[in-house]
Chain A
Amino acid sequence: MRVALFLTCVNDTLYPDTGRAVVRLLTRLGVEVDFPMGQTCCGQAHYNTGYRHEAEPLARRFAEVFGGYDAVVTPSASCGAMVRELYPRMGERARAEGRGDSLARTVAPVVAKTYELTEFLVDVVGVTDVGAWYPHRVTYHPTCHGLRALGLGDRPRRLLEAVRGLELVELPGAEECCGFGGTFAVKNAAVSAAMGADKVRNAGSTGAEVLCAGDNSCLMHIGGTLSRLGADMRPVHIAEILASTEEEPAL
């Protein structure tokens, strides 16, 4: 199986550790993963801010860059949801606008084979115990797109529960949005900050050292809030926890 890593532009630029963790993890599980250099951005920020037309060339590029692989794995539920849920919708809209089938047909093949990381692990590779070791107290925040758009369900939880040494503690109000929301974070900064502060307060009440999630955009917001409030908790992407072993422990 030819598997491509779609890292996302945010992770590529700001969170290369997450990318390295995915590569290590998948390699350890016997999945050979490629990083096509032509990849850039899925167009989510464009689309969600009202620039659907500007997102279309990015969707076409995505389809072209990843078209030749059997599976595309991404450590971002929101970018995964962009491809799976919104690319088809963009195709439909283009059709409704009398611009024909071309976009819909171009994106269709990649839509079906794009997986968020935890989905790929549980559904495609078929593992929940990935052989990880992470001796920390962790609380998990299910991000909105993972929870409601992709329907990841208990997959992340099952993966985390199988990590040796890891103590998973329940996050109160877990299903509530952290307040990131892309450009929402700056367009409605006050509400976004209030939501972030509540999320951090809930996380703090668990006594966890680590707040884990499957999307670095949300973690950037939560982590930025943690650091500003001087909280004693680290934001860590789930890939880094699952990649961690006794030989090569993650922080």
Chain B
Amino acid sequence: MSGTFVGMPAFPEAARDAVGNPTLRGNLRHATHTIRAKRDRAVAELADWAQLREAGRRIKDHTLRHLDRYLEQLEASVTAAGGTVHWAADAEEANRIVTRLVKETGESEVVKVKSMATQEIGLNEALEAAGVRAYETDLAELIVQLGHDRPSHILVPAIHRNRGEIRDIFTREMGSWGRPAPEGLTDRPADLAEAARVHLREKFLRAKVGVSGANFMVAETGTLVVVESEGNGRMCLTLPETLISVVGIEKIVPTWRDLEVFLQTLPRSSTAERMNPYTSTWTGTTDEDGPRAFHLVLLDNGRTDTLADQVGRQALRCIRCSACLNVCPVYERAGGHAYGSVYPGPIGAILTPQLRGTASEIDASLPYASSLCGACYEACPVAIDIPEVLVHLRERVVQGGPAVRRGNKVVLRPAKGHAAERAAMRAAGWAFAHPGALRTGQRLASRSRRLHPRTLPGPGRAWTGSRDLPAVPAEPFRDWWQRTRGGKDAK
């Protein structure tokens, strides 16, 4: 994944800073609560939502089970339709391929459709290093790019910004990227959108190369699909002479018919719309219409390894709707940056440690970035049991165990820093297997209860920093039960 996030602190520290930032808290709270309520309404409208969700889960599971076959079918159909297919095992290879393809056109700039895959591989940075400027054209991505910022949400990458901040960024930065913002720009949404429109128009009309991802790839016809709200994506998909699409291998669906399910569940889950304003589909190249050259870069970058994991593979069903982020109480308070990856929120917490592994501090901390409240699972339109995968990855962090890395079976070692916890868990396990020992502990706690402080030093401060401890009762229940014969005798 992108080098932009290397050296991130572990989630708890990053989240602590975010929690202490009132502007950020306010922006996120407002945005997530608004979209949450809208999504609830959009989903409640459909009487067959549960069936659609189940159908989406099945289509994805089926495709993943036969991914090898569908990938070959896709390659054949894209090629037959005049496109060229490239295979990229990892981010580096994908960046190399795209950079070469751009260089071969002789161009030094590209326009981009909003895409998670190209963010994941850090394509903009790789192109920049090769002397190619990549212009983001999605409004929110533009805000992030102009602000020298990082995305903090899958769908609304600038969710952490409010209107005033956006106006300031436009006024300050647009001039050095192209057409400057108009004098006296206000923070009215219509004015901000107009400033972006005028700024971007210049780039659309000039660009010879477009770069995109895709929401879906249809194996039977080789058709790619991009779902969006603004129409800027369609500009990039149709105006340039060359189109390069970088797409994760899990984005395949077998047939056009399968789209029927996702084109209902995706917009309702992401923007709470019945239908998104623009759905662009293209199949290879067409004479006299749209790009003359089309390249599809199929990206693995940890996906095959993820597929090998029985519990974790369900993360590959994800259609990047971001409903799980919007309902997540942890995301709402920690913000997207704390997750140290382009995939924030609950899906990021299960996807990143699988795509990148759990070796770094931030990646090993992600499976714990959840209270396991289950709101994400409930909202997910492809029924990814995110809490189940989180717990599974916690197990991997503390116990190690078998996994697949770059196609090879490996046995992972437990992450550092869990020895004390492991010992405590084993000790607790022993005490719970010996009720006598448990009882001794309980009685000791009860007898010494007047000595218990309300706040604790050391690691205990993590609890008592914000919460008082409960008072320990005079006797545990089991002693009362025995003493009074289940309450039959006097109290």
In the complex, the chain B residue whose C-beta lies closest to that of A19 is: B477
Interface of A is mostly: helix
Determine which of A43, A58, A145, A189 lies in contact with B466 in the assembled complex, contact meaning CB atoms within 8 Å. A189
Q: Let me know if A12 and B477 touch, CB within 8 A.
A: yes
Hey, which chain B residues are within 8 Å of A33, CB to CB?
Answer: 486
Hey, which chain A residues are within 8 Å of B463, CB to CB?
Answer: 185-186, 189, 224
Q: Let me know if B470 and A220 touch, CB within 8 A.
A: yes
Q: Let me know if A227 and B445 touch, CB within 8 A.
A: no
Determine which of A61, A93, A144, A184 lies in contact with B432 in the assembled complex, contact meaning CB atoms within 8 Å. A61
Determine which of B377, B394, B429 lies in contact with A54 in the assembled complex, contact meaning CB atoms within 8 Å. B429
Least CB distance from A68 to B in Å reads 17
Chain B, interface size: which category? 35 or more
Interface of B is mostly: helix
When A186-B462, A196-B467, A225-B467 are in contact, do A149 and B374 touch as well, CB less than 8 Å? yes
Number of A-B contacts (CB under 8 A): 200
When A50-B391, A96-B310, A181-B371 are in contact, do A194 and B333 touch as well, CB less than 8 Å? yes
From 456 to 475 in chain B, residues with beta carbon under 8 angstroms from any chain A beta carbon are: 459, 462-463, 465-470, 472-473, 475
In the complex, the chain B residue whose C-beta lies closest to that of A39 is: B435
When A35-B481, A49-B421, A194-B19 are in contact, do A16 and B476 touch as well, CB less than 8 Å? yes
When A148-B373, A196-B466 are in contact, do A14 and B329 touch as well, CB less than 8 Å? no
Proximity string of chain B (365-393) to chain A, C-beta cutoff 8 Å, 1 when within and 0 when not: 00111111111011000000000100101
Hey, which chain A residues are within 8 Å of B375, CB to CB?
Answer: 144, 148, 175-177
Hey, which chain B residues are within 8 Å of A57, CB to CB?
Answer: 429, 433
In the complex, the chain A residue whose C-beta lies closest to that of B396 is: A50
Determine which of A15, A24, A52 lies in contact with B395 in the assembled complex, contact meaning CB atoms within 8 Å. A52
Instruction: From B10-18, B167-175, B201-209, give the one contacting chain A.
Output: B10-18
Q: Let me know if A181 and B433 touch, CB within 8 A.
A: no
From 185 to 222 in chain A, residues with beta carbon under 8 angstroms from any chain B beta carbon are: 185-197, 220-221
Task: Judge whether B438 is part of the interface by a CB distance below 8 angstroms.
Answer: yes
CA A181 – CA B394 in complex, angstroms? 14
Hey, which chain B residues are within 8 Å of A186, CB to CB?
Answer: 459, 462-463
Q: Let me know if B466 and A51 touch, CB within 8 A.
A: no
How many positions in chain A have a CB within 8 Å of any CB in the partner chain? 73
CA A99 – CA B16 in complex, angstroms? 42
CA A221 – CA B462 in complex, angstroms? 12
In the complex, the chain B residue whose C-beta lies closest to that of A24 is: B487
Q: Let me know if A224 and B468 touch, CB within 8 A.
A: yes
Q: Let me know if B398 and A49 touch, CB within 8 A.
A: yes
From 25 to 73 in chain A, residues with beta carbon under 8 angstroms from any chain B beta carbon are: 27, 33-35, 37-41, 43, 45-55, 57-58, 61
From 63 to 103 in chain A, residues with beta carbon under 8 angstroms from any chain B beta carbon are: 89, 93, 96
When A40-B435, A177-B371 are in contact, do A50 and B466 touch as well, CB less than 8 Å? no
From 404 to 460 in chain B, residues with beta carbon under 8 angstroms from any chain A beta carbon are: 421-422, 425-426, 428-429, 431-433, 435, 438, 442, 445, 459
Q: Let me know if A38 and B435 touch, CB within 8 A.
A: yes
Q: Let me know if A9 and B373 touch, CB within 8 A.
A: no
Q: Let me know if A189 and B462 touch, CB within 8 A.
A: yes
Least CB distance from B32 to A in Å reads 11
Q: Let me know if A181 and B11 touch, CB within 8 A.
A: no
Task: Judge whether B123 is part of the interface by a CB distance below 8 angstroms.
Answer: no
Task: Judge whether B330 is part of the interface by a CB distance below 8 angstroms.
Answer: yes
CA A194 – CA B487 in complex, angstroms? 40
Hey, which chain A residues are within 8 Å of B480, CB to CB?
Answer: 16, 19-20
Hey, which chain B residues are within 8 Å of A45, CB to CB?
Answer: 425, 428
A residues with a Cβ closer than 8 A to B are: 7, 9, 11-17, 19-20, 23-24, 27, 33-35, 37-41, 43, 45-55, 57-58, 61, 89, 93, 96, 144-145, 148-149, 175-177, 179-197, 220-221, 223-225, 227-228
Please name the 6 residue pairs, one residue from A and one from B, whose CB atoms are nearest each other, closest first: A181-B371, A224-B467, A50-B394, A177-B373, A193-B466, A16-B477
Contacts A9-B432, A39-B435, A46-B428 aside, 6 further interface pairs with beta carbons under 8 A come to A17-B473, A148-B375, A181-B370, A188-B330, A191-B334, A228-B468
B residues with a Cβ closer than 8 A to A are: 11-12, 15-16, 19-20, 25, 310-311, 329-330, 333-334, 367-375, 377-378, 388, 391, 393-399, 421-422, 425-426, 428-429, 431-433, 435, 438, 442, 445, 459, 462-463, 465-470, 472-473, 475-478, 480-482, 486-487
